[in-house]
Amino acid sequence: MNPSNLRDPCSRIVNSNDVQFKNLKTLFPFVLLFFLGCVNPFAPALDNGTLAGDLITEQRTPEEVLTNFRYAYTFKDSLLYADVLDSAFVFQYFDPDQGPSGLFVSWTRDVDLRTTGGVLRTFDIINLEWLNTVYALQEGEDEILAKSFRLDLSSADFSFTASGFAIFTFRRNTQDHKWRIVRWVDESQI
């Protein structure tokens, strides 16, 4: 046997390992750049979704319904607003220009959802503040709260402020156990 032939197979193995090692050395920086490219050290941490959970209530009390009502207006969330209204909801207000001495005017949930949807789309900034609880009553299964409020509506070319009292009648749903508004009597001073 020729001694040079004996070295050839070994040198091929060593050369083959050197080539594989060189390929890994060449590939490693690209792999490292790929993974580092997916990390932004200046990006804020991702929200784990607890903020909405902290803001939106489960409507276990009438006060929690009013909290969701306020957030629905503030964040212009018509779905959240629809969830605070009972299917038998009625909105009522006094119109002094109707009839000889004024009349109470009312509308149902469907009309209120369309009207409120228009308000939410029209104004850029909506700020609703519940102020004082004027009184609270319980009538059978219903709970009545009279609240003072302030509502600020702003758009690019129009601003409006309403304040006054709202009398809400709440009822607890027997299926999902959420409280919802059955009746809203608006006594705003416009």
Q: Average of pLDDT values for 40-66?
A: 76
Q: What 3 state SS string does 143-190 have?
A: EEEEEEEEEEEECCCCEEEEEEEEEEEEEECCCCCCEEEEEEEEEEEC
Q: What is the reported pLDDT for 116? A: 97
Q: Which of 13-22, 31-40, 52-61, 134-143 shows the highest mean pLDDT? A: 134-143
- Residue percentage of the chain with pLDDT more than 70: 71
Q: Average of pLDDT values for 21-42?
A: 65
**Per-residue CA distances from 64 to 61, 68, 88, 112 (Å):** 5, 6, 19, 20
pLDDT over threshold 90, residue 151: yes
Q: Euclidean distance between the first and final Cα of the chain, in Å?
A: 111
The model's confidence at residue 126, banded by pLDDT at 50, 70 and 90, is: very high
> So where are the chain's domains?
1-43, 54-189
Averaged confidence pLDDT in the chain: 85
Q: Average of pLDDT values for 59-70?
A: 97
The model's confidence at residue 67, banded by pLDDT at 50, 70 and 90, is: very high
pTM: 0.72
Q: What is the reported pLDDT for 186? A: 95
Side chain identity at residue 21, one-letter code: F
The model's confidence at residue 55, banded by pLDDT at 50, 70 and 90, is: confident
Instruction: Give 93's contacts (C-beta < 8 A, 6+ positions apart).
Output: 104, 105, 106, 185, 186, 187, 188
Side chain identity at residue 129, one-letter code: E
The model's confidence at residue 39, banded by pLDDT at 50, 70 and 90, is: low
The predicted-structure confidence for 173-186, as pLDDT tens digits, reads as follows 999 999 999 999 99
The CATH code that applies to domain 54-189 is: 3.10.450.50
